[in-house]
Chain A
Amino acid sequence: MPAIEIENVGVRYGAFVAVSDVTVLVPAGKMIALLGPNGSGKTTILKVLSGLIKPSEGSVRVLEGKISEARGKIAYVPQREEVYWDYPLTVWDLVAMGRVRAVGPFRWVDRKDPIVRMAVEVVGMAELSDRRISDLSGGQQQRAFLARAIAQGGEIYLLDEPIAGLDAAAEAKLFIVLDFLRTSGKTIVMSTHDISTTLELFDYVLLLRNKPIAFGSPKSVLTSTNLAKAYGTERVAMHLEDVKGVAGWA
C-alpha cells in the first residue's frame, strides 16, 4: 500500500519557487529522509504533506486519500525551536496533547489514559512523565514530541530536522523509537541538512535543491556527483569521505 504519493508537486511563493517537480512514492512502513541544504525545500514538502500549505501544482495523496481525510493520522513533529519550552507543562501533559482530537471537545484527557502511558513508555520516558518540559534535554524534548505523535495514533510521521543539535547518544535513542515505528508499519518522513551516517538507516533518501536531484536507496543517492549538485563541491567531498568511512561503503 502506498502511504504517500506525491506527483509533480511544486510550491511557489509569488515568483519564488520553493520546490518543483517532486514525484515520490513511498510505501507504508518505510523511512525516508529529505536531504538538502538549508532553503532547499525540505520543510516545504513536509508542510505540504501535513496539509499546512497547498501545493501550487501537482497532487498529493496520503494513505490513499486526501490529506484532509487523513487529518488525525498525520503526525507532524515540528522543529524544537518552534515552541515555547517554558510553557508550564509536564511530559505527560505534552504527550496527552496528542489525544485532544480523539477525546473530543468538552472533555478531559484522563490522568491515566492508557494510550498516553503507552506512548510515554515507547519513547522510554516513563520515569520522566512528571518532569516539566523546560527541564528536558534536547533529545528528550524530541522524544516527548514523538510520544505526542504516537499518542495521536499517527500513521505518517513527519519530522522537521529532529536531529539538529542532538548529540550522538540522543540521536541513537531517537532512531531506536523511529525504527520501532517503522517495524510496526508506520511511515516516517524526516528532513535533515546533515550528510551523516544515520542516513544509512533510511529506506530512501530524497536529495533536494529546490527540485529533486536524486531519489532512491541511500547508497545510490549519496554519490559525490549528486551531493555536489545539492551542496556545492568542496564541503561535500569532505563530508562524503567521513560518511563512507563510517558506513563501511568505502
Chain B
Amino acid sequence: MIEILQGPLQYEFMRLALVTAIVVGVTCSVLSSFIVLKGWSLLGDAISHSVLPGIAVALTFGFPFFWGALFTAVASSALIGLVESKSRVRNDTAIGIVFTGAFALGLVIISKTRPAVDIFHVLFGNVLGVTFQDLLVTAISGSVILVAIGLGLKEIVAYTFDPTFSRVIGLPIRLIHYSLMVLLSLAIVAALQTAGIILVISLLVTPGATAQLFAKTIERTILVSLVVGIASVTVGLYLSYYLAVSSGGAIALVATVVFFAAFLCKGLKKRVGR
C-alpha cells in the first residue's frame, strides 16, 4: 500500500503535480460551497469556457497566460451581467450567448495563430506539466481566495442566502457580488493547469454539491466540500499515474463518482430511516 502511495512521488514532476492539485482542490472546494448555494454552476462553466480567447492571445504574444485568462474571465462575467441587466434576455440565455461566443473566438484565434502549446492540455488540463512557478501562481491565487472568503464569510453567507435582506440592511451587495465573480474567475484560472477549461467546473461544483447532501451548517458544508475536493484530486492524480490516463479527466471522474456514491448513501439512509 505504502509503495503504491510512494511510487509516483519519486518523480519531481509528480510531487509538484500533487501539491498543485491539492492547492487547487482546497481553493475550489471552499468556493464551491457558495457557487452551488448561489446557483452559479452554469455561470462558472461559462466563465471557464470564456478564458480560451485570453489564453490564445497570451500564447500568441508570449505573455503569461494567467493574465490573459484572468482578464477574459472577469470580462465575460461582467458582460453576462450587463446583457442580463440591460435587456430582457434571461440569465441562462445571456450565459449561453457569451460563453459560446468567447469560446468560439478563442478557437478562431488558435486555429489562425497555431501556438506551440497543446490545445488538448488547455482544454482538459495537464497537471503533470506544472512548473514550480505555476505552483506559486496557483498558491498565491488560492490564498487570495481563501483569505477573502475567510474575512467576508458572514457577509457572503448573508448575500448568497438573502440578497434583498442584505441590501436593505445596507451591506455593499454590489461589492460582494462582483468580488465573488472575481474570486470565481481567479479560481478557474488557478485551476486551469490541473483540470483544464472544460473540467475545472467539476471541482467548482461537485464538492459543494456533495457537501450539500449532508451538511447542516455552512461551516460543515465547507468542511465536507474540502474533504471531497482533496480526496478527488489526490485519488484522481494517482489513478492518472497508474492507469496512464488524462489527469484532469481522472480528477473530474473521481469527483463525480464521489458525488453519486454520496447520493446513493443518502438515499439508502433515508430508506433505512423509514
- Tell whether A and B belong to one assembly: yes
User: A: which residues have CB within 8 A of B?
Assistant: 50-52, 71-72, 74-76, 78, 82-84, 86-90, 93-94, 97-98, 100-101, 103, 105-106, 108-109, 132, 148, 152
Q: Are B161 and A52 in contact (CB under 8 A)?
A: no
A78 CA / B220 CA spacing, docked (Å) = 27
Q: Are A88 and B168 in contact (CB under 8 A)?
A: no
A162 CA / B171 CA spacing, docked (Å) = 24
| CB neighbors of A among B201-250 (8 A) | 212, 215-218, 220-221
Name the A residues within 8 Å of B169 (CB-CB): 71-72, 98, 100-101, 152
CB distance from B269 to the nearest CB of A (A): 16
A89 CA / B158 CA spacing, docked (Å) = 11
Among residues of B, the one whose C-beta sits closest to the C-beta of A158 is: B168
Name the B residues within 8 Å of A74 (CB-CB): 168
For this complex, 14 residue pairs linking A to B, each with C-beta atoms less than 8 Å apart, are A78-B164, A83-B162, A87-B160, A87-B161, A87-B218, A88-B216, A88-B217, A88-B218, A89-B157, A90-B217, A93-B218, A100-B154, A106-B151, A148-B165
Beyond A52-B164, A83-B161, whether A90 also contacts B171 by CB under 8 A is no
Tell me if B37 counts as interface (CB < 8 A to partner A): yes
Q: Are B162 and A100 in contact (CB under 8 A)?
A: no
A86 CA / B208 CA spacing, docked (Å) = 13
Q: Which of B157, B162, B220 contacts A82 (CB 8 A)?
A: B162
Among residues of B, the one whose C-beta sits closest to the C-beta of A135 is: B216
Most buried by A among B158, B164, B168: B168
Beyond A86-B212, A88-B216, whether A97 also contacts B157 by CB under 8 A is yes
A89 CA / B165 CA spacing, docked (Å) = 16
Tell me if B64 counts as interface (CB < 8 A to partner A): no
Among residues of B, the one whose C-beta sits closest to the C-beta of A130 is: B216
Name the B residues within 8 Å of A98 (CB-CB): 169
| Interface residues as binary, B163-198 with A (CB distance below 8 Å gives 1, 0 otherwise) | 011111111000000000000000000000000000
CB distance from B148 to the nearest CB of A (A): 11
Q: Which of A51, A83, A88, A148 contacts B212 (CB 8 A)?
A: A88
Among residues of A, the one whose C-beta sits closest to the C-beta of B216 is: A132
CB distance from B172 to the nearest CB of A (A): 9
Those 3 A-B pairs whose CB atoms lie nearest each other, nearest first: A71-B170, A76-B168, A50-B168
A105 CA / B166 CA spacing, docked (Å) = 13
Name the A residues within 8 Å of B157 (CB-CB): 89, 93, 97
A148 CA / B169 CA spacing, docked (Å) = 11
Name the A residues within 8 Å of B152 (CB-CB): 105
Name the B residues within 8 Å of A106 (CB-CB): 151
User: B: which residues have CB within 8 A of A?
Assistant: 37, 39, 151-155, 157-158, 160-162, 164-171, 212, 215-218, 220-221
Name the A residues within 8 Å of B217 (CB-CB): 88-90, 93
A82 CA / B166 CA spacing, docked (Å) = 13
Among residues of A, the one whose C-beta sits closest to the C-beta of B212 is: A88
Name the A residues within 8 Å of B171 (CB-CB): 100-101
Q: Are B165 and A76 in contact (CB under 8 A)?
A: yes
Q: Which of B37, B151, B155 contacts A87 (CB 8 A)?
A: B37
Q: Which of B154, B165, B170, B212 contacts A78 (CB 8 A)?
A: B165
Name the A residues within 8 Å of B212 (CB-CB): 86, 88
Among residues of A, the one whose C-beta sits closest to the C-beta of B164 is: A78
A98 CA / B39 CA spacing, docked (Å) = 23
CB distance from A88 to the nearest CB of B (A): 5
A82 CA / B163 CA spacing, docked (Å) = 10
Name the B residues within 8 Å of A87 (CB-CB): 37, 160-161, 218
Name the A residues within 8 Å of B216 (CB-CB): 88, 90, 132
Among residues of B, the one whose C-beta sits closest to the C-beta of A86 is: B212
Name the B residues within 8 Å of A108 (CB-CB): 153-154
Name the B residues within 8 Å of A148 (CB-CB): 165
A84 CA / B38 CA spacing, docked (Å) = 9
A75 CA / B162 CA spacing, docked (Å) = 13
Q: Are A89 and B168 in contact (CB under 8 A)?
A: no
Name the A residues within 8 Å of B155 (CB-CB): 100, 105
Name the A residues within 8 Å of B160 (CB-CB): 87
Name the B residues within 8 Å of A152 (CB-CB): 169
Q: Are A84 and B164 in contact (CB under 8 A)?
A: no
A71 CA / B170 CA spacing, docked (Å) = 6
CB distance from B39 to the nearest CB of A (A): 8
CB distance from A200 to the nearest CB of B (A): 29
Name the A residues within 8 Å of B162 (CB-CB): 78, 82-83, 97
Name the B residues within 8 Å of A51 (CB-CB): 168
A103 CA / B158 CA spacing, docked (Å) = 13
CB distance from B213 to the nearest CB of A (A): 10
Beyond A84-B37, A84-B161, A106-B151, whether A101 also contacts B218 by CB under 8 A is no
Name the B residues within 8 Å of A78 (CB-CB): 162, 164-165
Beyond A88-B212, A105-B152, whether A97 also contacts B170 by CB under 8 A is no
